[in-house]
Each structure stands twice: as structure tokens, then as C-alpha cells.
Amino acid sequence: MNGNQLPVSIRLVTEIRELGEKAVTVIEEPGTFLQKGNIAVLKFIEHREDEETIDSLITISEDKVSIKRTGAVDMHQQFKKKQRTENVYRHAHGTIHMETHTDQITYQELTSRQDGKLFISYTTKLNGEGNRRHRLTLQFKEAPQ
């Protein structure tokens, strides 16, 4: 799998908790997986109900995870364990300044015997207000040919 793009099926579950409310989003899309040295890269296109698409690029390395989304939304969010990062989230209704504090990152490599899995637990503060708890669970497996 080193250096070759592999077709995968992706399931991304995002949970957001704020003021006692919980919102869950599930995205299931085909994508590609590439392992290059100790860096793993997942690419997929998110198809939304409003027919707009979002290109997603997730890069996983030893000390951080980077999620870059372009299209209907534009953002580049970075996760570094026990650290605070900042980014700007742009969408049709405006721009939001986002602070992210990452609590936990666990990654299980994709092999011929096991599915790949990425889990990130973090809090965000939007435009300097309130903390929202997030749990991101990304599972991916080799797509049948």
C-alpha cells in the first residue's frame, strides 16, 4: 500500500455537544487512501443534500492531523494533541474564526487484516464564544474492486 492510491469506502461520524444538545452528522462516501512513509492521506468528495460538494483532504502524521475542506465550505483545521490551533471557516453565510483544543487523537492503520480508524476528541470556540465538544470518528476500509 505504500505510495499507491487505494480506493476506500469512508464513514465519517461527527458528534457535537453544546448546552446539553447533541448533533450527529454521518457522511459515507467513496474515496482514496495513500500511505507515503509515515504520512497517511485520505481524499473524498462530500455530497450534500443541497447538491453542493465539498472536497476533503485529511492528512495524518505522527504529531498532527490536518483536515482541509474546499468547495461549499473552505477551511483548514489542524489537530495537535494537547494544543490549541486556530483557523478560519468560510461558508455561504460568512466567516467564522475557530479555535480548536485537541484532547485526544488515536489512529489505527489500514492493513489487509483491519480497517483504518481515526478518532479525535476536541473542543472548539467559535468567534471567541462558548466551548463546543466534538468527537470525530473516521473509519475507512478497502473498497471492493
Tens of pLDDT, residues 29-81: 999 999 998 999 999 999 888 778 999 999 999 889 999 999 989 999 999 99
Task: Supply the mean pLDDT for the chain.
Answer: 93
pLDDT value of residue 1? 47
pLDDT value of residue 98? 94
Asked if residue 58 lies in contact with residue 74, where contact means CB atoms within 8 angstroms, the answer is no
Give the tens place of pLDDT for each residue, 19-28.
Answer: 889 999 999 9
* This prediction's pTM: 0.91
Q: What is the mean pLDDT of residues 110-130?
A: 93
Cell reading at 91: 461558508
Query: Closest Cα to residue 38, out of 9, 73, 3?
Result: 3
Q: What is the mean pLDDT of residues 141-145?
A: 86
Name the residue type at position 49: E
Read off the pLDDT band of 112 (50, 70, 90). confident
Locate all alpha helices (DSSP H) within 1-145, ordered by sequence: none
Domains of the chain, with CATH numbers?
Answer: 6-142 (2.40.128.20)
Q: What percent of the chain has pLDDT over 90?
A: 77
Name the residue type at position 3: G
Q: Is 62 exposed, middle or buried (0-12, 13-18, 19+ CB in 10 A)?
A: exposed
Read off the pLDDT band of 93 (50, 70, 90). confident
The residues, any chain, with a CB within 8 Å of residue 17's CB and separated by 6 or more, are 132, 133, 134
